[in-house]
Amino acid sequence: MAARAKTDILEFDDKSLVKEMCGSGHAHLALIEQALDVYLEAPGASIVIQGESKARTQAAKILQNMYERLQNGWPCGRTDIEELLRGQTHADMIRVSGSTLIPFPRRKPILAKTKNQDAFIRTMRENTISFGVGPAGTGKTFLATAYGASLLARGEIERFIACRPAVEAGEKLGFLPGDM
């Protein structure tokens, strides 16, 4: 007779958040089931997790993180869950705190998706002038613009200036500072 899978039950306070956490047709739960090889059920305001011990623990951490995000009004869609799964499986998951989000009036906040984005948001919050340097496509310009727009929308600043280099890569315009 095969050994029966062990079961954990997570209890939550808000049934509507659990429903939102599950996704349409339990699509969000299916993502977690597929990635971690667990079976998830959501009766009422609880989630039942069946599977191996390590997988159950990982699933519980992800589900609790999702619930916390939703409780705080933060987004938790498919891409957010995929990021949590990627981070969880690489033991590199960041916990989003109030200092790593960019709030917008009447909108969902923008959240850091990586540790470097988390550090960049904290740097912008702590310093008057910040420089973002790094590989293309890592969210530097987006986060800087979103942070500036957020400050402007909340009335914390009167003017926002975003600067980009005047010289495109590969162009030669003669002597520029730093050429020596």
The CATH number for 71's domain is 3.30.1370.10
Q: What is the pTM of this model?
A: 0.58
The last residue of one of the domains, among 43, 67, 93, is: 93
Q: Are 55 and 36 in contact (CB under 8 A)?
A: yes
List of E strands, the chain? 6-11, 39-41, 46-51, 101-102, 110-111
Range of the domain at 38: 1-93
CB atoms within 10 A of CB 73: 11
Q: Domain for residue 176, yes or no? A: no
Do 89 and 1 share a structural domain? yes
Strands 101-102, 110-111: parallel, antiparallel or unpaired by DSSP?
Answer: antiparallel
What is the Cα gyration radius of the chain? 21
Range with the poorest average pLDDT among 6-20, 44-58, 122-136, 160-174: 160-174
Share of the chain above pLDDT 70, in %: 80
Total tally of structural domains belonging to the chain = 2
CA atoms of 12 and 66, how far apart (whole Å): 12
